[in-house]
Amino acid sequence: MTDVDWLSYSLQDFLMFGPQVFPRLFIRLNQDIWPWQLLIVPLALVVPWWMCRPAPALRRLAVWLVAAAWIGSGAGFLVRYFGEINWPAVWFGWAFVAQGLLMAGLGTFCRLKAIPKGRAGAFSGLWLTSVVVLPWVPVLQSGELAALAVFGLTPDVTLAASSLVLAMMPRVLLWSLLPIPLFWVLFSAATYWALQMVWLLLLPAATLIVFALCFWLSPSSARSRDRQSVHRDPVRR
């Protein structure tokens, strides 16, 4: 029995599909789901308005919608489509479903703070960029308009946008929501790198950037900076 030289293998050797196959998954998904995209996209666009309103019920609706997006992209794209050609995607798919259920539970029982007024514009801008601009990245990669990656149906766009809502969770609970997103970012980046799909690498990169910015937008960060400002600049009597 000969020894296997594992160092001679690359990431591409472990994939059972090529760069031409992956964009077809987006096309198949959009064809099978149509015309539900006409309902999903408008619902996604109202999330920033819900998150910035003072009514807790609207913020709860926003979290439930994001949770449904995790469940939909996990059970739909990852398990049903991507899982057919890449078995680790099935495990990630069920992890996305679990993450969505956890977010729905936290959104139900936790009182989320509203986005500070001074940061509502930045929050809305990042959300719309994630939901409106990032879906076009697979189109640039494949040249097929039908390869549009819709929020709530595909994992990368869903994760990039929903990271803004994750940051609104209380910091004690936030850490329980981080492992699955971080592992998926690493997995998707490694997959796109192995397939040499340069445009798609923008998706995990954008997720990390949005995730870093969303901590600055969170109400917890705003309160912390306000307290620091009070200590540094005490009121003179």
Per-domain residue ranges of the chain: 17-217
Does residue 218 surpass a pLDDT of 80? Answer: no
pLDDT at 146: 94
Report CA torsion sign: 80, 139, 142, 160.
Answer: negative
Q: How confident is the model at residue 154 (pLDDT cuts 50, 70, 90)?
A: very high
Please indicate whether residue 236 or residue 169 has the higher confidence score (pLDDT): 169
Q: How confident is the model at residue 16 (pLDDT cuts 50, 70, 90)?
A: low
What tens digit of pLDDT does each residue of 96-126 get?
Answer: 999 999 999 988 887 777 777 777 888 899 9
Mean pLDDT, range 173-187, rounded to an integer? 88
- Which are the contacts of 237, defined by CB distance < 8 A and separation ≥ 6? none
pLDDT at 7: 45
Is residue 167 within 8 A of residue 214, CB to CB? The reply is yes
Residue whose C-alpha is closest to residue 154's, from 59, 33, 39:
33
Tokens of 50: 């819900």
What tens digit of pLDDT does each residue of 36-65 get?
Answer: 999 999 999 999 999 888 888 998 999 999
Q: How confident is the model at residue 147 (pLDDT cuts 50, 70, 90)?
A: very high
Mean pLDDT, range 190-203, rounded to an integer? 92
Which percentage of the chain shows pLDDT scores above 70? 83
Give the Cα separation of 105 and 110 in Å (integer).
8
3-state DSSP call for residue 149? coil
pLDDT at 18: 73
pLDDT at 232: 52
Mean pLDDT, range 9-34, rounded to an integer? 77
Q: Taking all residues of the chain, what is their mean pLDDT, rounded to a whole number?
A: 83
pLDDT at 229: 43
Does residue 9 surpass a pLDDT of 80? Answer: no
pLDDT at 54: 84
pLDDT at 4: 46
Give the Cα separation of 170 and 108 in Å (integer).
13
pLDDT at 177: 84
Q: How confident is the model at residue 78 (pLDDT cuts 50, 70, 90)?
A: very high
